[in-house]
Amino acid sequence: MTTAFGDAQTRLLEFFNAAVAAAHPSTCVPPNLPEVPAGGRIIIVGAGKAAAAMAQATEKHYTARGEGGSISGFVTTRHGFGLPTELIEVIEAGHPVPDENSISSAQRALELAASAGANDLVLCLLSGGASALWAAPVDGVTFDMKQALTRDLLRSGARISEINCVRKHLSRIKGGRLAAAANGKELLTLAISDVPHDSPDAIGSGPTVADPTTLADARAILALYRITPPAEIAAALQDPENETPLPGSDALSRSRYQLAARPMVSLEAAAKLAVAAGYRADILGDSLEGEARDVAAFHAAMAHNAKQRGDRVALMSGGELTVTVRGTGSGGPNQEYALGLAVALDGADGIYGIACDTDGTDGGIGKPDDPAGALILPDTVKRAADHGIDAVTFLKNNDSTGFFRGIGDLVMPGPTQTNVNDFRVILVDP
């Protein structure tokens, strides 16, 4: 690797770190925390990949104000993402596939919200990943059934919004049902967004807000991806009792929602560094969706065109891409995007890239040391070929992790304690 390549690699990693820092709970949570209600307490529930750090920041804030005795509760985060706390308990559960802890913590959250007194405030600390971390199947549907359906949806290439629609209508906590459990008590949700357009009903499957989707929508999604569910799930998706609270529902009249961090803020933080380094920063959007390799090919064409024009530009984007699994390899959408980009760029000089999930893990097997993504350099494909690794073959097999591991270009920061979705940058340096 030449010095120039090394400089670009360092710069790309600095951009990623800046994006993560802008959305870290220690930065974004304290300014948004509410006052302790007069004559009452703050009862905390929460779930998501950022939940442990949100809990840490919350208890530090109130302890510093001498109000630590007025807060209590618990949050649920992904296995390996826990952090030490004193006042707010942290529980670890399964992600992306729920486990038994997901069930017990969801039930506990419902009960804790229902226990709020007339002067109490329920504070929900919410971030991406909560959909799997809080799993409370509706009557007649077992945990194993819902777990198997989640796997089928993940493998089908369904968008996260579609997966969440189905989850909501098979859950007793999602789609506004946690807020309904508070029985009209005041509830504030403080959320870190990881979804397109920062839609509250999509973050963590919207446990505290009205749900614009319906049982009919959930049935249509399974039909679209040709998934035939067990009879019990099919029956549950026909049962009107499993319809989620609609907009305007009285049960949600005292439920408020506040964003603490969102993907665009992270992209803007990285863009400032890019401008300072002499690049024009073009933010393509924070809500991009689509098949990872197809989006990568489109972005590669944009980079080629920018190079031909002589533009020194940083093409930045966020959102959550998908992978339709046809092979037997391993990897997530960021790594598949990176491999697709490397193939499409075909060794073009002066073009570099990074694609990482801001939570620190991209696909993988649910371990905290899974890769977050990968780097793309002008010699990526050539170095791989020198090691007997063919980029196109690995892409066809959906084995982006195997490809980048073979050449040492995986990005592996470990849990970042936040989650504002995917982060991608292509640097064009003619």
Domains and CATH numbers, the chain: 3-21+264-428 (3.40.1480.10), 25-136+171-210+245-261 (3.40.50.10180)
pLDDT of residue 3: 38
pLDDT of residue 366: 67
pLDDT tens profile 189-221: 999 999 888 999 989 989 999 998 999 999 999
pLDDT of residue 2: 38
pLDDT of residue 118: 95
pLDDT at 1 over 50: no
Q: Which of 95, 430, 411 is nearest to 280 (CA)?
A: 430
Rounded average pLDDT over 413-417: 95
Exposed/middle/buried for residue 10 (C-beta within 10 Å: 0-12, 13-18, 19+): exposed
Structural contact between residues 401 and 335, judged by C-beta atoms closer than 8 angstroms: yes
Taken as a whole, the chain contains a residue count of 430
Q: Which residue has the tokens 């506004």?
A: 176
Nearest 5 degrees, angle CA 81-CA 32-CA 359? 25
pLDDT tens profile 245-288: 988 888 899 999 999 999 999 999 999 999 999 999 999 999 99
Rounded average pLDDT over 72-79: 97
pLDDT tens profile 119-145: 999 999 999 999 889 989 999 999 889
**Cβ neighbours for 273, distance < 8 A, ≥ 6 positions apart:** 11, 14, 15, 18
Mean pLDDT of the chain: 94
Cα(406)–Cα(326) distance, rounded to whole angstroms?
A: 21
pLDDT at 4 over 80: no
Q: Which of 107, 257, 123, 116 is nearest to 183 (CA)?
A: 116
Torsion sign over Cα 302, 303, 308, 309 = positive
